[in-house]
Copies of this chain bind each other. A is one copy, B any other.
Amino acid sequence: MKTNYESNFHSDLSTTLANKNSGAKLSLDVCITPFSYPIYHRDDAIVVVIDVLRATSAICTAFHNGAEKIIPVATIEEAAEYKSKGYLVGAERNGIALEGFDFGNSPFSYTTEKVNGKTIVISTTNGTQAIAAASHAYKVVIGAFTNISALCNWLKLQNRNILILCSGWKNRINLEDTICAGAISKILLEGNNNFKSGDGALSAVFLYQSAQKNPFKYLRNSSHTERLSAMGLKNDIKYCFTLDKTDVIPVLDGKYLVKQF
């Protein structure tokens, strides 16, 4: 390991440290857990919340299938209160749909028949916690692989600082959200010299680039993929990693998520 590693490193060092980001104006970074959000918060940044498996993927699906508004809530108590008022409510903890509610967080459960024209409520283990953490940001939008192209096209037009907030797993890093954050960062950075990327965004891009070559090296041992796979939810995983199932961009407006377009 020593020879290759060191010789590669040292031979190129003097020529490659140039700051390719010089002159950049906008910041692009990735925060890998809601717990760290206060460290990364900027008053003027658009925050993109990601919970690939499965909350933000399910939210995109629900809007695609006609949901009018979604109320994301952090606690089960809030979810139960909305349920008692007659709302359709999704509630999930640790990958399991909670009894007495209408949905878990499988995208497949948010069908047109159930959600079209409705206002629904969602509380999940990680995703809705991340939305709550960023709720005072300049703007909060919902990202997933399933809406990635529409989302990135929209973000490019905003001319704003961007912070991608991964939901993680109980405030620990998870691979799937970080890889999705890397995919979004890469698209935004390509051909756009307006962004100065922090180490969070750089790390995420590098992880995504490696994952592109062989996603299974990455995900086969990842904690949440194991968890869902053990629950027989491989179809959910496949769906959540599918690109561009929809053009919707959910955006937080007060307590509601609504469709940006």
Contacts and interface: CB of A to CB of B under 8 A. Distances in A.
Contacts of A212: 1, 4-5, 8
B8 A220 contact: no
A224 B19 CA distance: 11
Interface in A170-184: 170-175, 178
Interface in A2-20: 2, 4-6, 8-10, 12-14, 16-20
A259 to B, nearest CB: 23
A17 B210 contact: no
A172 B40 contact: yes
A216 B12 contact: yes
Interface string A93-118: 00000000000000000000000000
A194 interface: no
Contacts of A16: 216, 219-220
A151 to B, nearest CB: 14
Interface stretch (A56-64, A65-73, A79-87, A240-248): A240-248
A215 to B, nearest CB: 5
Nearest to A224: B199
Given A36-B33, A220-B17, A243 B209 contact: no
Please state the number of chain copies in the assembly.
Answer: 2
22 contacts: A6-B242, A6-B243, A8-B212, A9-B215, A9-B238, A12-B216, A13-B234, A16-B216, A17-B226, A29-B172, A36-B171, A39-B172, A169-B199, A172-B198, A172-B199, A174-B199, A198-B223, A199-B223, A199-B224, A202-B222, A206-B207, A207-B207
A18 B200 contact: no
Contacts of A175: 199, 202-203
A214 interface: yes
Contacts of A214: 8
Nearest to A222: B199
A75 interface: no
A243 B35 contact: no
A159 interface: no
